[in-house]
Chains A and B, each alone.
Chain A
């Protein structure tokens, strides 16, 4: 079975550019989570969707960040304009929904903003 697929694996871009990170959920999963991992702050939840609807976006840093689920199996996280402090590893995870369901993680996108 295919796991959660993230693209690109690495992204290097200049400050001010738009960045789009992509995530394909595991088939049949209906919950989607975006996380950011940095040395200073560890793993932080950015946003959580259930059945394509954003449920908790309290972790989204600011208006420069936006996330969408255009369909049940795909999500994007956009940063516009990007800043050097956005450099981090971004993970998405999917699950069957509910607090007792484990989250399955992708391999992450390592983002560097110069």
Chain B
């Protein structure tokens, strides 16, 4: 009965492809997030989405676009993948306090 689940867990793809990572939470939280853990292990926020308000980290390339069909889902779509996009991507959700994280998606661009 996973609280925050994301799929796939592993994703290997070629440069230039477009891919999506899906995220669902069953906690009834209003806010969802995408974080990226880079090669130096830093967890950096990419987006937060709360009641149709999207807050974007300005350092995120516009090839990355979050899509939220409803409050329980926040998918991440990436266009024209580059080698530097290889990382672990974490989805998370929260109400007002701590964020709950999914298990991560390891994206490898070859």
Instruction: Tell me whether A and B are bound partners.
Output: no
Q: Which residues of B contact A (CB under 8 A)?
A: none
